[in-house]
Structure formats: structure tokens, C-alpha cells
Amino acid sequence: MFSIQVQNQREWLKANYFRDPAKMLYLASEEVLLQQGRENRRIFLVREGSLKGKVKTAQQTEYEMFMAKPGDFVGIPSFFHPNHLSLSTTVAIEDCVLSYMDEETPAIHSPRGDTLEQQFMGVILEEWSHRQFMIHHLHKERESMITHMMEVRRMASLGELSAGIAHELNNALSVLSSASRSIYQIVIRYLKDTPKKLRVFEESFQSGRILSSREMRDRQKTLEKLRTIDEASARQLSRTSLKIETIAELLQSGLTFQEIIDTNEMGLRLHDMELVSKQSAHVVQSMRTLGAPRPADRSDTSIKQVIQNSLHLLSGDLKDVTVEEVYCETDPHLMVSATELVQVFVNLIKNARDALIQDRIQNPVIMIRLESTEETIFISVIDNALGIAAENLPNIFSPSFTTKKMGLEFGLGLGLGIVKKIVQSYDGRIEVDSSPKGSCFKVCLPRKKF
Amino acid sequence: MKAPVIICVDDQREVLAALYEELDSIKGVRVVDCESADEALEQIHELLDGGEWIALVVCDQIMPGTKGVEFLSYLKANQIVPGLKTVLLTGLATQEDTIRAINQARVSHYIAKPWDSEYLLKTVKSLLTEWILEAGLNHQDYPDLIEPDTLYSLICGE
């Protein structure tokens, strides 16, 4: 209602005060109409072209306060203000035609009132609210720009930090893994004259900790029944990775309990050292990918092999999950970095596994499917957990988003961010399909000719 | 002398084995290792039924299924093992976990991973010393389990 009245009033003002052909002004593009802080005793009506009003603050920053288009008035605040000083510098954006009125223009009788102030009141108020809206809008824009910049800065410093940590940890890890390698070889040399011990050592080093605590207790009971073995030895022997028949065989061949136990323990411990240095290297690698992207070495890689390697890396985590692998008949290859792609699958499989555990699924199944067409290779990781909450779905790929409250490496919310980054670097994409019956992450990698 | 039992719980086998070996180096205790809180609870009931003395539980926080603090809170609230000492061993705990560890589970001690071997053994022996005295046992029967400073302050402090 108000704006209709103002609109009518505007038309009335234009028709009555801006029709003097002598009071017309032509501005070329970039010509200045009003200068901030200078006196102005005219009201202009834009007939053609457009202008913008800029304000310079005391801190010398400049921002845009308004735009004036044909039909708009310019100069109202300074015209009516007792000091007549312009609030902004008004510049033509393009060639403009303006009409104006000044203090000599006589006020015409109107039902709204006989003074110019009364007659222009609606327009003044409207002008003011326009400007206020504009400032509000600018403020919002700046706010979101700052948020964005802070996010960028945060990611950059996270990147620097992780690159620094990665460097330090990699040094330490190289020492650890080369030391364990070297001890392994020395032990092999030491044991070469005692083939039975060598066998115990090699077997335990290869197998690692295959027995669960429960299985070890069962073995202890079996061994205790042998009578020839005392309780303490039975307990220690039960903890070795050796088969009971092998233990019996070794004892018969003259090795002592302690020899078997120590040699086995040595193999297991070295196995653990190798395993954890590999795991840590993997964590470091993930951090580094996020931090400082470096072009990885790409080579002709079997995708099936990469999937199998990823599953192997996770074998410890997947012991309670049924893994179904479905491969297409062809064995598709791509020019990729196997290390990078392993990270993609490890992250996706690990997420699936975590979801299955978090949702306490009775028969947890992860299906991995490899499909291939002439243009694209598809790898899907499908779980039968309860799916991703609809409100979380838009955020899952953004860095620092996580639903996992526990854990260090897996709670930073870096996982899917890395996955997306790597897949995009191969011009690929990820499709996510999630329902309360499970989730499917489908990685699509284009087959490119190089 | 009956050997007091220490139960250690960690879901990662390699860590559990390392922890087991550390604790097993103490003469005169029996160490039972478990890969989950559920398994530990089952073992606790079995050991109690067999008339064993459970002195201490050393438990990891971050495990699939029941978390360390949840498990220790359960043991505390239900008084499953009277006089039990508990250690929470963790690589990372949120502030919320830590608050619950103190207020609900009333853990006797909190040790960060990676643990320092000497510190772990000293802490465990110190708790075993407390347990022995609280159980009304004669500390002279358990020379290998006694942490001298703790013994001194407990006897002279009172």
C-alpha cells in the first residue's frame, strides 16, 4: 500500500518538478556527478543510463552504497540536509541523461502538503530503506567471504601442519621399519645352523598374531591335559602361533620350552613392528595427501589388484565382517597411482565397516563390485548398515565432517575428503546411494588414453 | 600364595600382546588378556566362580562395542569385583570420556598411549600394593608386587 502511494507520488514529482528542458545534464561514462563531502543543492532524476554511489570511510575503504537507474532520484539526502554535503561520490557507469531541480524550483501546491520536504517524504524514506537493505546485503556477502577465507586458511595451515608432522613421522618410521628388517635378517643368519629354530622364527614372523585371546585360552587347556607340561609352560606355549602338533614335534626333536617360546616371540614381535610401521605410514600418507598434493607416480595398474591389496591392508579390521568380492571377467587396468587408489578403497571399506559396527548389524556384509565398460570403470563398496542420515548426506565429503566420535585418525573427518580429492584428480566421480538398508559408494573412473 | 589376577583388555591384538608381556613380567601375578569388554566380563565371572582374586583391570578406551569407560563404569556401578583397581589406557579420549572416567567409572589411574614401560609397571605395582593392603593381606607375602613408596605412604600415612 505504502509503495503504491510512493509510486504515485514519485510519478507526480517527476511530472511536476523535472520537466524544465533547460535543467538537463549529460554525463559521459565515469564522469563524476557528486563528490562525497562537497555541497549539493540539486535533486537529479535519472532519465537514461545508470550511476553508482560510493562511500569512502575514515579508514579509506570504499564501498558501494547504491545504484541509480532510470526513474531513480539522486542527491536527495544532501539537498534536504541543512549542510547540503553529499554523503557519497556518485559516478556515471555509462553515458547518462539527467533532469534536475534546485532550490529555485518553486514548490507546487499538493494535497500532501505545500513544502518540498512533505512532498518528498515518501521517496526519502524509501531511498533510506533501500540503502539500508544494500548495506545489510553487503555485510552478509562480506561475512560469507570471511567464513570462506577462514576455511581456506584453516585447510592451508592444516596442510602445512600435517606436512610437517608427516615429515617427522616418516623419518621415525623409516628407522623403525629398516631396523626391524635388519634385525630380521640378522636373526635369520644367527639361526641358520639351527633349522628348527629358524622354522619357528620364520613361521611366527610370517603368520603374526593369528590367535584370539579366546583361542589361546582353549589351547592352554588342551596343552595342560598333556600332563608332561606344567601350567606355566602350557600357558606360554599356548600363546605361540605354532600348531599344537608342531609344538609336540619340536619338543620331541630336543628344543626346550623356553627356546620355542623365545624364538616364536622374537618372530611375532618383529612381525608387529613391521605391521605397525606400515599402518602408521598409511596414516601419515593420508595426512599428507590432504596437506600438500603432489603428483603421484602413475603406472599401469590392475584395479582388481588394488582392491585386493586394500582388503589385505584391512584384514585385521574385517575379521568380523563377511566380504563379498565380485569382479568382472576382464581385468581392467588404468594409469593411476596404486598408493592413491588404495587409499580411496581403504577409506570407503573402513567407513562401511565402521558403519556396520556402529549400527550393530547382526550379519555384517561388505560387497565390493568391479564393473567395466569401454569408457568407464566402476567400483562399488556396498554395506548392509542402516545408511547415512538424510541430514548428513550433503556434508559427507566436506573436510572435518565426521559422525565418528572415537578414534584419532578416523575421527578427523578427513577420509571422504581425501577420497573425493583423489577420485577427482583422475577426472572421476563418486556416486552415493544410501537407504536404511545400506549404503553404496560407487567410484567411477574414466578410461583415458594418454 | 594365591596370585592376584590382572585383566587387560584391548581390541588390537598387537597392542594387547605387548601389554600382556609387560604385565606378565611382574612375578607373582596372573595376567588374563581379552580382546573386548564382553570377553573380559565373561572371564571375570569365570575367574570369580573359580575363587580367583581379581585385583586390577587395565582397559583400552577405544574399542568396537563396549568402550573402556562404559565397561569400567558397569563394573563399578554393579560392584562386580569388590575393591577392584582400574586403569584406563588410551591413545585418545574426548573430554566427555575423561569426565565420565573420573565421575562414573572412578578409574584408579589414567595412562596415555604410548605408555612408558617403567611408569606403567610402577603404577600397576602401586595399585597392587593398595589392593593387597585393602584386602587385608600381608604385604610380606607378595614382595614382587609391592611398590615401596606406596607401601611406605600407606603404612606411615595412617
Please give the ipTM for the structure prediction.
0.76
Same domain, A308 and A268: no
pLDDT of residue A1: 46
The angle, 0 to 180 degrees and rounded to 10, between the axes of the packed helices A257-291 and A338-358 is: 100
Digit-coded pLDDT (tens) for B72-91: 999 999 999 999 999 998 87
User: Rounded distance, CA A110 to CA A406, Å?
Assistant: 75
Does residue A119 lie within any of the structural domains?
Answer: no
For B14, which of A209, A213, A239 is closest by C-beta distance?
Answer: A209
C-alpha triplet A289, A292, A296: angle, nearest 5°? 60
User: Rounded distance, CA A130 to CA A137, Å?
Assistant: 11
B79: which 3 cell numbers?
560392584
Q: Kindly report which listed range (A50-59, A222-231, B7-16, B23-32) carries the lowest average pLDDT score.
A: A222-231
Contact B13 A276 (CB under 8 A): no
pLDDT of residue A288: 65
B137–A contact, CB cutoff 8 A:
no
Contact A357 B65 (CB under 8 A): yes
Does residue A313 lie within any of the structural domains?
Answer: yes
Interface probe with A: pick from B2, B14, B69, B70, most Cβ of A within 10 Å:
B14
Report the number of distinct structural domains present in chain A: 3
Does residue A162 lie within any of the structural domains?
Answer: no
Same domain, A233 and A303: no
pLDDT of residue A408: 36
Same domain, A286 and A309: no
For A213, which of B21, B35, B91 is closest by C-beta distance?
Answer: B35
Segment B121-142 mean pLDDT: 94
Starting at the earlier edge strand, list the strands of the sheet with A89-92: A32-34, A89-92, A51-56, A62-68
Contacting residues of B for A209, CB less than 8 Å apart: 13-14, 17
Contact B17 A214 (CB under 8 A): no
Residue A315, φ and ψ in degrees, nearest 5: -55, -35
pLDDT of residue A407: 38
User: Rounded distance, CA A303 to CA A296, Å?
Assistant: 16
Return the H-helix or E-strand segment holding B67.
none
> What does each C-alpha distance from B78 to A411, B73, B75, B83, B105 come to in angstroms?
32, 8, 6, 12, 11
Domain boundary among A271, A291, A311: A291
A171: which 3 cell numbers?
623419518
Contacting residues of B for A276, CB less than 8 Å apart: 14
B67–A contact, CB cutoff 8 A:
yes
- Dihedral over Cα of B95, B100, B103, B109: its sign: negative
Contacting residues of B for A265, CB less than 8 Å apart: 21
Residue matched to cell numbers 643368519: A189
pLDDT of residue A439: 93
What is the widest separation between alpha-carbon atoms in chain A?
126
Domains with residue ranges and CATH for chain B: 5-116 (3.40.50.2300)
Nearest to A368 by CA among A404, A336, A327: A327
Same domain, A271 and A308: no
Counting Cβ atoms within 10 Å, is residue A53 exposed (0-12), middle (13-18) or buried (19+)? buried
Residue matched to cell numbers 586394500: A310
Is beta strand A376-383 parallel, antiparallel or unpaired with respect to A333-336? unpaired
B14–A contact, CB cutoff 8 A:
yes
Does residue A157 lie within any of the structural domains?
Answer: no
Buried b (16+ CB within 10 A) or exposed e, A5-34: ebeebbeebeeebbeeeebeeebeeeeebb
Nearest to A407 by CA among A350, A448, A364: A350
User: Rounded distance, CA A355 to CA A384, Å?
Assistant: 9
pLDDT of residue A181: 87
B135–A contact, CB cutoff 8 A:
no
Domain boundary among A265, A291, A317: A291
B94–A contact, CB cutoff 8 A:
yes
Same domain, A313 and A332: yes
User: What CATH number does residue A362 fall under?
Assistant: 3.30.565.10
Same domain, A209 and A286: yes
pLDDT of residue A412: 41
Query: Which residues in A have their CB inside 8 Å of a CB on B?
Result: 208-209, 212-214, 216, 239, 265, 268, 272, 275-276, 316, 357, 405-408
B83–A contact, CB cutoff 8 A:
no
Same domain, A280 and A333: no
Does residue A150 lie within any of the structural domains?
Answer: no
Does residue A139 lie within any of the structural domains?
Answer: no
- Amino acid (1-letter code) at residue A298: R
Same domain, A282 and A344: no
User: Rounded distance, CA B65 to CA B150, Å?
Assistant: 35
Nearest to A352 by CA among A428, A445, A419, A290: A419
Residue A161, φ and ψ in degrees, nearest 5: -60, -45
Counting Cβ atoms within 10 Å, is residue A232 exposed (0-12), middle (13-18) or buried (19+)? exposed
Asked whether A403 and A396 are in contact (CB, 8 A), the reply is no
pLDDT of residue A358: 83
Sequence-ordered alpha helix ranges (H) in A191-315: 195-207, 213-224, 231-238, 244-252, 257-291, 303-313
Same domain, A191 and A102: no
User: What CATH number does residue A8 fall under?
Assistant: 2.60.120.10
**Residue range(s) defining the domain that contains residue A9:** 2-106
Does residue A120 lie within any of the structural domains?
Answer: no
Counting Cβ atoms within 10 Å, is residue B23 exposed (0-12), middle (13-18) or buried (19+)? buried
pLDDT of residue B97: 81
Same domain, A305 and A286: no
Q: What tens-digit pLDDT sequence spans chain A (450 residues)?
A: 456 677 788 888 988 899 888 999 999 999 999 999 999 999 999 999 999 999 888 888 888 888 888 989 999 989 998 999 998 999 999 999 999 999 888 888 887 788 888 888 888 888 888 778 877 877 887 887 787 777 777 777 777 777 777 777 887 888 888 888 889 999 999 999 999 999 999 999 998 888 889 999 998 888 888 767 788 888 888 888 888 888 888 888 888 888 999 999 999 999 999 888 888 887 777 666 655 555 557 888 899 988 988 887 777 778 888 999 999 988 899 988 887 888 888 889 988 998 898 888 889 999 999 999 988 999 999 999 998 888 888 778 775 555 554 433 334 445 787 788 888 888 899 999 999 999 999 999 998 754
User: Rounded distance, CA A124 to CA A135, Å?
Assistant: 17
Residue A336, φ and ψ in degrees, nearest 5: -140, 170
Cβ partners under 8 Å of residue A256, min gap 6: none
Contact B64 A357 (CB under 8 A): yes
Same domain, A234 and A331: no
pLDDT of residue A160: 72
Q: What is the DSSP letter of B69?
A: H
Domain boundary among A57, A82, A106: A106
For B94, which of A214, A268, A405 is closest by C-beta distance?
Answer: A405
For B62, which of A209, A212, A406 is closest by C-beta distance?
Answer: A406
Same domain, A259 and A328: no
Does residue A151 lie within any of the structural domains?
Answer: no
C-alpha dihedral, A238 to A243 to A271 to B123, nearest 10°: 0
